[in-house]
């Protein structure tokens, strides 16, 4: 029998099913979680079944730990047991109430720290964690002052979304910052970030009026600024790496700064003051364009574009001539437009989804010739719209047959 066990162990190791030591690894229950002594990663739920973290101090090999409190659990959690986990490189605390963050100062290898929806009386102990490269305080409403971050010069990403922060001044020296998330905060001035070369900026629903501070971010790939107070796109000139730009529900009226954004693939302009899309004429990488609820009337600059998704809902567009050669168009919205001729859609072999609410059934007749059309939203208005699934249902609606 011993020989057989040795053979089985060798076989399982060779097959990659177990690593040496796994077959005899000790599993210790922490609340509802069972952790192996030699495990490198663990996720533990904190609640009434886990009154404290003291038993965690035996898992000294851990490099990645997540502690998540159950929704109704608000009791203070003492973090001192974590000081024994000197190999931790990544720590996530979620929805936890803690009396003190000081124990985290004794984790010298920690590079990634998430304190999402964490409640603590004092965040200043974070100032000593100068080795941090990634920090998140998402949903931590107690965070109103970022002074603790002023010396965290190795930070590459910072998430302060849904926090109480309004002033970014302490971040002026974080020149290595690449990813910045601050959506749903009261941040209004991005100028302290002027020295950083950001790749991602997410400032949705912030009272930001200008993105001029992003002028030096020549590697910017994504900017989400929907629901902000933006009026101009000054600062976005010369952004060839930019592939996603969300400007929904802003006061932006001029797209000229985007003329050289040749890598732009996803652009949302719904609810803006845009009427002229001429600056998009040279952006051949565009795949998704949302123009809903704008004053756009002409699609001429888009002729021949390789768009996959296009929304013209509630615009002044009346002609689809520019759409005729969009061979990869898959999802198209023309609800609430003045379009009367759908003949340009006949040759679009990849068109699968069409929203045409408000257009009379007689206008929709050319759809019978759209080869792969599978879903059509039609009807006199949104309240009485119908979702037609499959060619048979579409044909029945268009021809008036039961």
Give the pLDDT confidence score for residue 94 in this predicted structure.
Answer: 97
**DSSP letter assigned to residue 27:** E
Q: Which candidate, 86, 95, 88, places its Cα nearest to that of 67?
A: 95
Please check whether residue 151 lies inside any domain of the structure.
no
Cβ proximity of 173 and 194 under 8 Å: no
Please check whether residue 58 lies inside any domain of the structure.
yes
- The tally of domains found in the chain comes to 1
Higher pLDDT: 260 or 2? It is: 260
Question: Rounded to an integer, what distance in angstroms lies between the CA atom of residue 79 and that of residue 82?
Answer: 6
Average pLDDT over residues 276-298: 98
H or E stretch at 398: helix 391-399
Token digits for 253? 């009226």
Host domain of residue 49: 24-95
Please check whether residue 83 lies inside any domain of the structure.
yes
Give the pLDDT confidence score for residue 34 in this predicted structure.
Answer: 85
Token digits for 22? 């796994």
Please check whether residue 73 lies inside any domain of the structure.
yes
Rg for the chain (alpha carbons), in Å? 28
Give the pLDDT confidence score for residue 310 in this predicted structure.
Answer: 99
Please check whether residue 86 lies inside any domain of the structure.
yes
Question: Rounded to an integer, what distance in angstroms lies between the CA atom of residue 63 and that of residue 40?
Answer: 5
Please check whether residue 43 lies inside any domain of the structure.
yes
User: What are the φ and ψ backbone dihedral angles of 147, each rounded to 5 degrees?
Assistant: -55, -30
Span 71-86, pLDDT tens digits = 889 999 999 999 999 9
Please check whether residue 45 lies inside any domain of the structure.
yes
Question: Rounded to an integer, what distance in angstroms lies between the CA atom of residue 97 and that of residue 121?
Answer: 9
Give the pLDDT confidence score for residue 24 in this predicted structure.
Answer: 40
Please check whether residue 325 lies inside any domain of the structure.
no
Question: Predicted confidence band at 15 (pLDDT cuts at 50, 70, 90)?
Answer: very low
Question: Predicted confidence band at 110 (pLDDT cuts at 50, 70, 90)?
Answer: very high
The DSSP result for 49-83, as a single string, is: T---SGGGGG-TT-SEEEEEE-TT--SB---GGGG
Give the pLDDT confidence score for residue 7 in this predicted structure.
Answer: 44
Model confidence, pTM: 0.90
User: What are the φ and ψ backbone dihedral angles of 125, each rounded to 5 degrees?
Assistant: -60, -20
């Amino acid at each position: 029998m011993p020989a057989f066990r040795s053979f089985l162990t060798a076989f399982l190791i060779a097959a990659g099913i177990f690593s040496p030591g796994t077959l005899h690894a000790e599993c210790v229950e922490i609340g509802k979680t069972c952790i192996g002594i030699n495990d490198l990663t663990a996720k533990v739920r904190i609640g009434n079944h886990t009154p404290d973290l003291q038993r965690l101090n035996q898992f000294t090999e851990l490099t990645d730990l997540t502690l998540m409190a159950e929704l109704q659990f608000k009791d203070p959690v003492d973090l001192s047991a974590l000081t024994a986990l000197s190999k931790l490189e990544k720590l996530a605390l979620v929805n936890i109430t803690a009396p003190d963050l000081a124990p985290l100062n004794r984790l010298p290898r920690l590079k990634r720290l998430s304190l999402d929806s964490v409640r603590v009386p004092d965040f200043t102990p974070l100032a000593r964690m100068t080795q941090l490269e990634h920090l998140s305080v998402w949903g931590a409403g107690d965070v109103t002052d970022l002074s603790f971050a002023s010396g965290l010069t190795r930070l590459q990403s910072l998430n302060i979304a849904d926090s109480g922060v309004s002033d970014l001044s302490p971040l002026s020296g974080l020149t290595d910052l690449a990813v910045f998330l601050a959506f749903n905060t009261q941040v209004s001035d991005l100028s302290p970030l002027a020295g950083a070369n950001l790749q991602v900026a997410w400032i949705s629903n912030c009272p930001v009026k200008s993105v001029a501070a992003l002028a030096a971010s020549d590697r910017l790939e994504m900017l989400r600024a929907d629901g902000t107070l933006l009026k101009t796109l000054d600062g976005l000139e010369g952004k060839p790496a930019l592939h996603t730009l969300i400007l929904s529900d802003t006061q932006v009226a001029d797209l000229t700064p985007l003329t050289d954004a040749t890598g732009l693939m996803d652009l949302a302009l719904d609810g803006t003051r845009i009427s002229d899309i001429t600056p998009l004429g040279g952006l051949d990488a565009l795949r998704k364009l949302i123009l809903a609820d704008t004053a756009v009337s002409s699609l001429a600059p888009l002729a021949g574009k390789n768009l996959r998704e296009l929304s013209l809902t509630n615009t002044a567009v009346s002609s689809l001539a520019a759409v005729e050669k969009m061979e990869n168009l898959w999802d198209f919205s023309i609800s609430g437009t003045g379009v009367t001729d759908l003949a340009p859609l006949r040759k679009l072999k990849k068109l699968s989804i069409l929203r045409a609410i408000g257009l009379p059934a007689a206008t929709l007749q050319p759809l019978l010739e759209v080869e792969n059309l599978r879903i059509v939203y039609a009807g006199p208005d949104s309240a009485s719209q119908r979702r037609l699934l499959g060619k048979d249902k579409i044909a029945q609606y268009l021809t008036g047959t039961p």
